[in-house]
Amino acid sequence: MNARGAGTIRGLGRVFNTTGDSGARRITAQEFYVGINECGVKLDKHQCDGLLNELDSDKEGTVNYDAFLVLLRGCPNASRTACIGNVFNRFDSRGAGCLVASDLRVSYASNQHPRVIAGAITEDEAFLEFLANFGDKNNNGQITRTEWNDFYAAVSDSIENDAHFCQLVSAAWNVPCE
């Protein structure tokens, strides 16, 4: 799937969101098999069963989308993980393990968003769009360290160079990654 590009992964994400119980971010084995085939990934029954066995950690016959993404993209390397953690820690001054929007708004460089520069959206709209991408899984208006790490793991997957990745993260928040 990585060879087919991020579009394939996003496509599978749409399958997860349009099939089954999207609130739980889980789909049945049959829905998963249909979805990956719709995305152009052809697996025979044996291959699919093996993959499903790995993804169904609780043995309930379902696939968890978040677990699937972690398996698919892996985790960022040590350099990127340190950068991601350092930026999170800058905003988590209370040590609560979660951030609220007001913690982030003061530093996020919304004015650098391409659509803000083009005049298509405001800085506030760019920031709200950005926050929506973090995937506040429990809808409490806070971004946990796990949600932060998951977001940047997805970003990391599309950037080949470690220095460039850290530069982008640093520039987005106007803080050095160290």
Band (85; pLDDT cuts 50, 70, 90): very high
The CATH class of 6-73 is mainly alpha
Report in angstroms the alpha-carbon separations of 43 from 36, 37, 141.
8, 8, 39
Band (6; pLDDT cuts 50, 70, 90): very low
User: pLDDT value at position 83?
Assistant: 93
| Domain extents in the chain | 6-73, 78-173
* SS3 state at 49: helix
Whole-structure pTM value: 0.66
User: pLDDT value at position 164?
Assistant: 92
CATH topology of 6-73 equal to that of 78-173?
A: yes
Looking at residue 131, its amino acid is L
**How many whole angstroms separate alpha carbon 143 and alpha carbon 131?**
9
52-82 burial code (b ≥16 CB/10 A, e <16): beebbeeeeebbbbebbbeeebeebeeebee
Looking at residue 178, its amino acid is E
User: pLDDT value at position 17?
Assistant: 65
The pairing of strands 142-144 and 98-100 is antiparallel
The domain defined by 78-173 folds into: Recoverin; domain 1 (1.10.238)
Q: What is the mean pLDDT of residues 156-173?
A: 87
Dihedral class, residue 161 (left if φ above 0, else alpha if ψ from -120 to 50, else beta): beta
